[in-house]
Amino acid sequence: MSAQGGDKPALRKPVFTKVDQLRPGTNGHTLTVKVVSATPVPGRARPGAPASSSRAPRIAECLVGDETGVIVFTARNDQGESLGNKWFCPTNLFSSNDGWDNCSPGLNDGCCDRSVRIYLIMQFSWAYDEYPFCAVDLLKPDATVILRNAKIDMFKGSMRLAVDKWGRIEATEPASFTVKEDNNLSLAIIRPLLVVFFLWPVHFFRGLLTLAAYQPFGGDMAGEDVAGEKDRDEASVEALFAGQAAAPWWRQVTARSVATSVVLGTVFSFMAMRMGLTIGLVPSINMSASLTSFFVVRSWTRLLGRCGVATPAFSRQENVVVQTCVIACATLALYGGFISFLPAMSGTVARATGGPATGNNVYALHAGKVVAFSFITGFSSLLVTLPLTKVMILDYKLLYPTGSAIAGLVNSFHTPKGAATARCVSALLKSVFGSLSWAMFQWFYTGGDGCGFQAFPLLGLDAYRRRFYFDFSASLVGVGIICPYVVNLSLLLGAVLSSGILWPLLQAKQGTWYTDPSPTSLRGLNGYKVPMGIAMVLGDCLFQLAAVTIRAARSCFHHQRHVDAAPASYDERRRIQCFQSDHVPTGLALAGYLALAAMATALLPTMFPQVRFYHVALCYVMAPLMAFCSSYASGLTDWSLGTIYGKLAIFVFGAWVGEASGGAVAGLLAGGLVVVVIGNSSELMHDFKTAYLTLTSPRSMFASQVIGTALGCVINPLLFIGFQTMGGGHHHLGEPGSPYPAPMAMAYRGIANISVEGIRTLPKHAIMLCVPCFCAALCLDVLTSVAAANNWRIKGYLPNVMAMTIPFFIGPAFTIDMCVGSLIVFLWRRADRQAANQLSVVVASGLICGDGLWSLPSSLLAMFKVQPPICMKFLSAFQHDQMQQHFVPYLTAPQ
């Protein structure tokens, strides 16, 4: 009886292949075939070989097949069953078994023991040359054999099946099938150019997709194949924290973390609102909040320790709680409407945009109303998120790249001393420093519009005009490293279909279908982009919701929960256990959401007379569906669709109410409700992903989100009123030329002005083109699910619909960066798979973090109007000649 500790792992069950599934250049096939015919082929001895081994090899061309087809198999005398359990015995060399005895070690029938057998094999090696156990003798007509680890070789453009020294041939019981001889794969001639230009790219992309094939239900979005499971176990993160038990959820939310959140939340909210009101862009603060909270609390703890004050250890769970509070507070500056739809209601912005600026189409905001609006709407985003956490993180296993990157950062900083993580920390610091230095270097060359490396026409100026270029964004490359290959390739496919094919065709219709040349106006090309993209999103998400509902109904009908296969790693088992044990009850979230929806339905019409209660109720009814869509897209690509849905809601409700009844303000309010609920929920879903990867309790995450939202509902309205005062009163906030022109508010007001004119504002055939987009998304989802259910070979090649839709809204530029990230991971895994599996997420986190850190000093430079000193711009040959002719001669030579 063998010891338990020495048991060998069970062998993986082989997967048998049929003959008609064989393809050129493939290997690793296991198949059962019947020999149709065998033709010996004369062989020649190798020149220069020793006399003892210079016999001509025995070769035979055999036609083998099964019920699907036949193929030529090349048999040689160095193939056959392994000799591991057969021993050559000179005493019965010329017996019926030709000198091969199946005796096991310890038996004495001509072969005494293992040492004697090895000696005899060495002394009588000539017998193996004379009496080989070879495939040529085994492959006789009508014989049935099993070919293991077979490969496809190409001979003069046709396929040949072969088994090398890494495979073997086994005799088996006679097969009952009839060989289909009329389908001979070796007769199909495949041209070499076809192999080079078609088959190799197919297998290349197949390798990319199989490493991270997206499966909607229970699929692994981590971007690793089965062969990487062992590598993940060796690079276990939670094994390093095995000696540190996670504290209960009520001890993860400490007074220290809340105090830090108040300070950092105020700072980041001020910066976000200042940036949004001045330049209209708010950089991502997730990474900056995580790093800043770590260094602030760690410095505070060390300072108190030096003063002799005992403090509890700063755990990674507390670090996540602090950054979640800060993000929940600061994101309300963006999604709470303080830089967009709230100032857009003022008469100043209405007059600046040329729309209706009197009567019900303007609204004066006061501090009390702003605070009340924030409290009524802000908490809805928390409750609409909770029922989705298990579906998105555990069932769909979505990545949420920013949340995953923050988790990698936090785990690296809190790794216990003595653990073998010096390599990870070194890689993280190098990537952070490199990304930060590169972002700083790029800033010096952005001294004008269209300047800098982010406008580098890598693919040519024609492609650059269509926004196909590599902008050298380290954060986007990092996101591409984290995202699965299938997502990044789907993004690129969507960019090609939209910006490469559809938009040029629609631009050719300018003057007949539409007349507005503005690329952002809903009367022009944007009137096609937004509806068509939203039609595809709705088609995809309606299918996913229907699939989730059917699965839940089947589970309830059979009185069992849907349980995926056992997690492949120790990390996943610990994380799933922690995430499920402290999960917030779904009933609580639903009851709270319904209560807030009822409160908003009753109170908002009294605060904003332009809307009716059924307008608000409809927004809250549609919000969960839109939140599902946005969270799904954000989990795949890191992009939130909250603002897209908000602009659609402005258009729909503005047209519904009409100009006479205050449709501009009603549309802005409805769009604001959608943005608050959906946009903030997508951001907070990243926090739950971070919690999952750091063993932070979901209940402590929900508590920290509640605290951060409450802080944001107080801090952000006060900051907004303060900016109104600093700008000279609300009549000056949003006015062109003022210190705070609020460009995002101008954009939102422009959409509201157009919306009051109704659906006739959209260009011709815009609604009609949405129908094929919706149907195409639905059909592709159905095909993907059917292919996955039936294990079709095409399942790894089908793109992801949601990822394809993102370029419809924001253009193709970012897709190049993300595909570069995929290429880096692919080449890295080819060179060193273990290092890539262990360090790829760490390096990606550093790239995202370094780029995010530069957003802080760049924001300060922009706030103080510090301009970069150099403008680097790329011109066409004609523009270069014009500059040489009209500009360069007038330059003064340096003294």
Which range among 191-200, 596-605, 664-673, 717-726 shows the weakest confidence by mean pLDDT?
Answer: 191-200
Q: What is the mean pLDDT of residues 129-136?
A: 48
Whether 547 and 217 have beta carbons less than 8 Å apart is answered as yes
CA atoms within 13 A on the CB side of 242: 8
In the prediction, which pLDDT does 799 show? 87
Confidence of residue 677 (pLDDT cuts 50, 70, 90): confident
User: Which residue shows structure tokens 């659609």?
Assistant: 648
pLDDT at 102 over 60: no
Q: Is 554 left (phi over 0), alpha (psi -120 to 50) or beta?
A: alpha
Instruction: Tell me what percent of the chain is helix, strand and coil, each rounded to the nearest 5.
Output: 60, 5, 35
Q: Count of residues for the chain?
A: 895
Whether 52 and 112 have beta carbons less than 8 Å apart is answered as no
- The pLDDT tens digits for 819-855 are 888 899 899 988 888 788 777 877 877 787 777 677 6
Confidence of residue 742 (pLDDT cuts 50, 70, 90): confident
Q: Which of 197-201, 471-475, 487-491, 865-869 has maximum average pLDDT? A: 487-491
Q: Is 475 left (phi over 0), alpha (psi -120 to 50) or beta?
A: alpha
pLDDT at 47 over 60: no
Which residues sit opposite 657 in a β-bridge? Answer: none
pLDDT at 895 over 70: no
In the prediction, which pLDDT does 129 show? 38
Confidence of residue 346 (pLDDT cuts 50, 70, 90): confident
In the prediction, which pLDDT does 219 show? 36
pLDDT at 615 over 90: yes
Q: What is the mean pLDDT of residues 348-354?
A: 77
Q: Across the chain, what does the average pLDDT equal?
A: 75
Q: What is the mean pLDDT of residues 707-724?
A: 88
pLDDT at 644 over 80: no
Parallel/antiparallel/unpaired status of strands 59-66 and 27-41: antiparallel
In the prediction, which pLDDT does 614 show? 93
Whether 776 and 378 have beta carbons less than 8 Å apart is answered as no
CA nearest neighbour of 845 among 317, 252, 399:
399
In the prediction, which pLDDT does 92 show? 38
Confidence of residue 123 (pLDDT cuts 50, 70, 90): very low
In the prediction, which pLDDT does 857 show? 81
Tokens of 708: 């951060």
**DSSP code string of 181-241:** TT-BGGGS---HHHIIIIIHHHHHHHHHHHHS---TTT--TT---GGGHHHHHHT-STTTT
Question: E strands along 1-80, which residues?
Answer: 27-41, 59-66, 69-76
Confidence of residue 890 (pLDDT cuts 50, 70, 90): low
- The pLDDT tens digits for 430-476 are 888 888 888 888 888 887 777 777 767 777 777 777 778 787 888 78
Which is more confident, 80 or 290? 290
pLDDT at 739 over 90: no
Question: E strands along 79-194, which residues?
Answer: 87-88, 100-101, 144-155, 158-162, 168-171
In the prediction, which pLDDT does 96 show? 37
Q: What is the mean pLDDT of residues 305-324?
A: 85
Q: What is the mean pLDDT of residues 393-400?
A: 82
pLDDT at 186 over 50: yes
Confidence of residue 12 (pLDDT cuts 50, 70, 90): low
Parallel/antiparallel/unpaired status of strands 144-155 and 100-101: unpaired
Q: Crossing angle, helix 642-657 and helix 526-557, to 10 degrees?
A: 110
pLDDT at 208 over 60: no
User: Tell me, what amino acid is at 440?
Assistant: M
Which range among 513-527, 680-694, 873-887 shows the weakest confidence by mean pLDDT?
Answer: 873-887
Please name the residues in contact with 825: beta carbons below 8 A apart, sequence gap of 6 or more: 223, 481, 485, 836, 840
Which residues sit opposite 510 in a β-bridge? Answer: 514
Which residues sit opposite 632 in a β-bridge? Answer: none
In the prediction, which pLDDT does 1 show? 41
Q: What is the CA radius of gyration of the chain?
A: 33
Confidence of residue 884 (pLDDT cuts 50, 70, 90): low
User: Which residue shows structure tokens 């997420």?
Assistant: 841
Instruction: Tell me which CATH code domain 15-42+56-202 carries.
Output: 2.40.50.140
Alpha carbon distance 832, 850 (integer Å): 25
- The pLDDT tens digits for 535-546 are 887 788 678 767
Which is more confident, 841 or 57? 841
pTM greater than 0.85 (yes/no): no
Confidence of residue 118 (pLDDT cuts 50, 70, 90): very low
C-alpha 359 chain-centroid distance? 47
Q: How many other β-carbons are positioned within 10 Å of the β-carbon of residue 773?
A: 21
Residue 629 CB-density burial (10 A; 0-12 exposed, 13-18 middle, 19+ buried)? buried
pLDDT at 598 over 90: yes
Q: What is the mean pLDDT of residues 157-171?
A: 80
Percent of the chain with pLDDT over 90: 7
In the prediction, which pLDDT does 555 show? 53
Percent of the chain with pLDDT over 70: 75
Which range among 32-41, 199-208, 556-565, 648-657 shows the weakest confidence by mean pLDDT?
Answer: 199-208
In the prediction, which pLDDT does 604 show? 92
Which range among 320-324, 422-426, 676-680 shows the weakest confidence by mean pLDDT?
Answer: 422-426
In the prediction, which pLDDT does 588 show? 86
Tokens of 543: 């299918």
Q: What are the start and end residues of each CATH 2.40.50.140 domain in the chain?
A: 15-42+56-202
Which is more confident, 552 or 783? 783
In the prediction, which pLDDT does 574 show? 85
Which is more confident, 847 or 135? 847
In the prediction, which pLDDT does 549 show? 64
